[in-house]
Structure formats: structure tokens, C-alpha cells
Amino acid sequence: MVAVRHDMEAPAVTIRAMHDADLPAVAALERSSYLFPWTEGIFRDCVRVGYVCRVACAEDDVIGYGVMSVGAGEAHILNLCIRDEFRIVGFGRRLLEHMLERAAASGRYSAANFNVGHWGNISCWRF
């Protein structure tokens, strides 16, 4: 059973390509979520080299992001994060499903293997 928050009304969220203008918000979210965060420069490099970089937005507000490399017959989700106050609402699952759909569209997805680094959200990894 997946935990779901019932104490907030879920806003409309869109998932779109990450742009340079998103990088400060993405890096700030990264810093607030991880002990050893990626830098804004790392995210910039991921966008520049053509990784699948997506942001989840509630209106114009970045509430999450995902980064995936695709190549050599494989797809690897390198980073995926949802802002704390939007966790356990289903946005992480939605962003993960979007990334897996991108991998499948590239012909690189047949199985998933996850190394979960934020155990507070382990429920979102059940399929």
C-alpha cells in the first residue's frame, strides 16, 4: 500500500523539459533534499549534453525534477526529487513514470533497478 497525503489539495502539475532558467530552483531543491547535493553546474552540464532533464511545475513553481541518461542501449535515472511539502501526494510517482515512458520511447527500457537514497519516500518505489 502506498502512503498518500490527504491534508492538502493537490495542485495541477505539469512535467516539461528543464531549461537554464530552472537551474537555480532545481539546485536549491537539491540542496534542501540531500547531504551531498549536485551543484547547479552539474545540472547545467546534464542539460547541455542532452540528458533527459525534466521539471515538475505547479503553475510556474518548480516542485520537482528528474535527470536521466540514455545511451549505449541503456537508460539510467540519475536523480529524481520532489520538494518536501509536495511529497507523498503522487508527484514523485508521476515524474518517475514520465521518465520511464521517455526511456521506453527511446527503446532503452525493459527493467528498472533502483537505489533509493531518501528512505522517507520509500513508499513511492512500490510498483
Residue 7 lies in a domain: no
pLDDT at 115: 53
pLDDT at 123: 46
Residue 20 lies in a domain: yes
Kindly report the CATH number assigned to the domain that includes residue 84. 3.40.630.30
Q: Is residue 32 within 8 Å of 84, Cβ to Cβ?
A: yes
Determine phi and psi for 7, rounding to 5 degrees. -90, 5
> For the chain, how many structural domains are there in total?
1
Residues of the chain with pLDDT under 70: 1-10, 108-127
**22 class by beta-carbon count within 10 Å (0-12 exposed, 13-18 middle, 19+ buried):** buried
Residue 84 lies in a domain: yes
Q: What count of Cα atoms within 13 Å lies in the side-chain half-sphere of residue 70?
A: 17
pLDDT at 32: 95
Residue 17 lies in a domain: yes
Range(s) of the domain holding residue 58: 13-120
Residue 18 lies in a domain: yes
pLDDT at 126: 42
What are the residues facing 56 on neighbouring strands? 15, 64
Q: Are strands 61-71 and 13-17 parallel, antiparallel or unpaired?
A: unpaired
Residue 5 lies in a domain: no
